[in-house]
Structure 1
Amino acid sequence: MKAIIRLLAALVCGLMPAAVWADSQFKLLVIATPSKYHYEYIPVARDSLQQLARLHAFDVTFTSDPAVFDGDLRPYAAVMFLNTPAEQLNETQRGHFEAYMRAGGNAIVVHRAAIIPANAWPWYEKMVGRSFINHPMIQTAVIDVVDKGFPAAFGLPDHWIWSDEYYVTNNPFGVTINPVLNVDETSYDPTRIWPGQVGKPMGKVHPEAWYHSYEKGRVFVTLLGHVADMYRDDRYLQHLLGGIYWAATGRGQAGARSRR
């Protein structure tokens, strides 16, 4: 009887998908809290990120509750702020996240999460690397890859037709970033904005995704990702996956591989 049980167990194991038995490579915390213009994306993004996690053997904890920052962040290889107004974190939660980064934690900042009111949390503003001014209406434009060696660009063509809100930013803290994507302002109208606002072009240098080091960690930022259906787009998801992979592991850069 024992031999039969062992045989059956072996057969069941053989029939189960290999992914079930794969060890998780790392843990990702995703905070996605709704705001006035960003809420429909949440279930779509959750499903897509969970699918990416299953496919690429990492764990994802997806939550809309900032109380997660009251707990222990150390198990997470990276924390993703997904369209989340970071000022929703209270002082204690902010302190926990700062300590996490100072201990070598890593961050991914997506679209709306790059916006925080001036002086609300300067440490976070510096972590993002750029400060938000405003954005024109959603338009179709040409996104140019400026760093082909960075994982968040691997799934993209050199020139990418995309429709989004192209944030206008400045650099009051003098933070050095490494641009990955740049939007070509000649391919859309940077002045097409709502009444009462003034749309100001940034010129030839208008980064839409970048990375840099902060405290003792890695930070990847993409300003793309306004519409819910974008989180079903394969190219956009490859862009996010590349940023997640690099932030969580520090691996994947073409130049780093060639130097080994």
Structure 2
Amino acid sequence: MTGRRIVPALVAAAVLATPSAHADSQYKLLVLAIPNKYHYEYIPVARDSLERLAKLHAFEFTYTNKTEAFDGDLAQYAAVVFLNTPGEELNAAQRAHFEAYMRGGGNAVVVHRAAITPPNGWVWYEKLVGRSFKIHPFLQTAAVDVVDRGFPATFGIPPRWIWSDEWYETTNPYNVAIHPVLNVDESSYDPTRIWPGQVATGMGRDHPVSWYHRHEQGRVFVTLLGHNVEMYRDPQYLAHLMGGIWWAATGKGQR
């Protein structure tokens, strides 16, 4: 899952990082979406969906596949969204700049592939995510249970939600405390169904697939959901994502 296949047309579209324009925007996001071997088709679709959400909810965003955005003024952004793009893409200076942003009260949203980073490659980022990726079985349909009905990322989805995704297994090597938002019910799919030569065992009753916590001086929302391009057209998934973005950017909406 670490290889990269650059698709020229998608890259060209992604480079056009013109911020969405709103006269009375509430806040501004930086969205980093870099194509890779398994995640590239989502890029223009996610951008279109974010454009609609931005118009509906009166916010702005800069959508880019260029890490040079992290060389600039991050303080202008209420939150940075790593959209299927892990922090390992940043160079050393950009990593330091992002760390300073979070220490200064910046916020982050981590989506699906962005939660996967090489062990010990950037421990600070692993702690920001809150969990470390272990493995995942084949994409399967499963039942997802809402753990925290008072968190905005659950407001647009049912208490027990049918969803199909890669059910990432994670570990907690740095003992980071998180607040689970969604758990996947492992009895509703086969955690061991995986490629030959690999082994997945599941995580048992405690298998969070979305959570939030604090890191440095900022808010962090993580969702491990979002593998396929069609998910970025799905109203319930977009409601889940929008709720997490809203909370990360503003700190509001939580009961």
Superposed pair shares fold, TM > 0.5 = yes
Verify the 8 A CA contact 2:22 2:55 in the aligned structure 1: no
Instruction: Show the counterpart of 1:54.
Output: 55
Verify the 8 A CA contact 1:35 1:85 in the aligned structure 2: no
**2:31 aligned with 1:37, yes or no?**
no
**2:232 aligned with 1:212, yes or no?**
no
> Could you tell me how far apart the structure 2 residues matched to 1:67 and 1:24 are?
24
Verify the 8 A CA contact 2:88 2:122 in the aligned structure 1: yes
Instruction: Show the counterpart of 2:94.
Output: 93
Q: What whole-Å deviation, never above 9, does each CA across 1:123-156 have from its counterpart, x for those lacking one? A: 0000000000010000000000000000000001
Output the amino acid matched with 2:158: P
> Could you tell me how far apart the structure 1 residues matched to 2:186 and 2:22 are?
48
Give the TM-score normalised by structure 1: 0.89
Output the amino acid matched with 2:252: R
Written as runs of structure 1 = structure 2, the 5 A alignment for 1:94-243 is: 94-243=95-244
Verify the 8 A CA contact 2:32 2:82 in the aligned structure 1: yes
> Could you tell me how far apart the structure 2 residues matched to 1:198 and 1:178 are?
28
- Three-state SS of the structure 1 residue aligned to 2:231 is helix
The offset of 1:85, in angstroms, is 2.7
Q: What whole-Å deviation, never above 9, does each CA across 1:9-43 have from its counterpart, x for those lacking one? A: xxxxxxxxxxx975110001100011110111100
Written as runs of structure 1 = structure 2, the 5 A alignment for 1:15-34 is: 23-34=24-35
Against the structure 1 CA distance between its residues 104 and 151, is the aligned structure 2 distance closer, same or farther, given a 3 Å change threshold? same
- Matched pairs, number: 235
Output the amino acid matched with 1:103: G
Against the structure 1 CA distance between its residues 248 and 21, is the aligned structure 2 distance closer, same or farther, given a 3 Å change threshold? closer
- Three-state SS of the structure 2 residue aligned to 1:213 is strand
**2:75 aligned with 1:74, yes or no?**
yes
Output the amino acid matched with 1:201: G
The offset of 1:200, in angstroms, is 1.3
Instruction: Show the counterpart of 1:83.
Output: 84
- Three-state SS of the structure 1 residue aligned to 2:75 is coil
> Could you tell me how far apart the structure 2 residues matched to 1:121 and 1:53 are?
32
- Three-state SS of the structure 2 residue aligned to 1:25 is coil
The offset of 1:88, in angstroms, is 1.2
- Three-state SS of the structure 1 residue aligned to 2:134 is strand
Q: What whole-Å deviation, never above 9, does each CA across 1:88-138 have from its counterpart, x for those lacking one? A: 110000000000000000000000000000011000000000000010000
- Three-state SS of the structure 2 residue aligned to 1:163 is strand
Q: What whole-Å deviation, never above 9, does each CA across 1:181-218 have from its counterpart, x for those lacking one? A: 00000000000001110011100000000000110000
Output the amino acid matched with 1:114: A
- The runs of at least 4 consecutive aligned structure 1 residues that moved more than 3 Å come to none
- Three-state SS of the structure 2 residue aligned to 1:182 is strand
Output the amino acid matched with 2:224: L
- Three-state SS of the structure 1 residue aligned to 2:95 is helix
Output the amino acid matched with 1:147: D
The offset of 1:158, in angstroms, is 0.3
CA RMSD of aligned residues (A): 0.9
- Three-state SS of the structure 1 residue aligned to 2:62 is strand
Aligned residues with identical type, % of pairs: 70
Task: List runs of 5+ in structure 2 lacking aligned partners.
Answer: 1-20
Instruction: Show the counterpart of 1:257.
Output: none
